[in-house]
């Protein structure tokens, strides 16, 4: 599902007068995504009850192999945003 499809699905679930326009809905979506990203950048977790949680996971430095040359390389430590679905969402998907 694309962002556009998601916005159309949400617009179909709300009352016609609740969202003035497609542009207003787009601003709301952008604001939600921006707030989630800003919180993750600040090192905070974002928990949405019944849906799941977003957090930043630190990955340690590790050894790997270049598949083309066979040379051993070091992959530097990094951070990644991860999503963990709630048990309610997991059960709904099953």
What's the CA angle centered on 51, arms 93 and 44, to 5 degrees? 140
State the pLDDT at residue 65: 94
Residue 16: predicted pLDDT: 72
What pLDDT does 19 receive? 72
- Using alpha carbons, list the distances in angstroms from residue 55 to 3, 41, 47: 21, 10, 9
What is the full per-residue pLDDT of the chain (94 aa) written as tens digits?
A: 998 898 888 888 887 777 768 888 888 899 999 999 999 999 999 999 999 999 999 999 999 999 999 999 999 999 999 999 999 999 999 9
pLDDT on residue 80: 95
């Amino acid at each position: 599902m694309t962002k556009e499809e998601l916005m159309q699905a949400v617009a179909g679930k709300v009352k016609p007068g609740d969202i003035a326009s497609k542009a207003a809905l787009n601003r709301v979506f952008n604001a939600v995504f921006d707030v989630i990203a800003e919180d993750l950048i600040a090192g905070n977790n974002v928990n949405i009850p019944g849906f799941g949680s977003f957090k930043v996971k630190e990955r340690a430095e590790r050894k790997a192999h270049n598949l083309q040359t066979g040379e051993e390389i070091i992959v530097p430590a990094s951070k990644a945003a991860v999503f963990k679905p709630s048990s309610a969402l997991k059960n709904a998907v099953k």
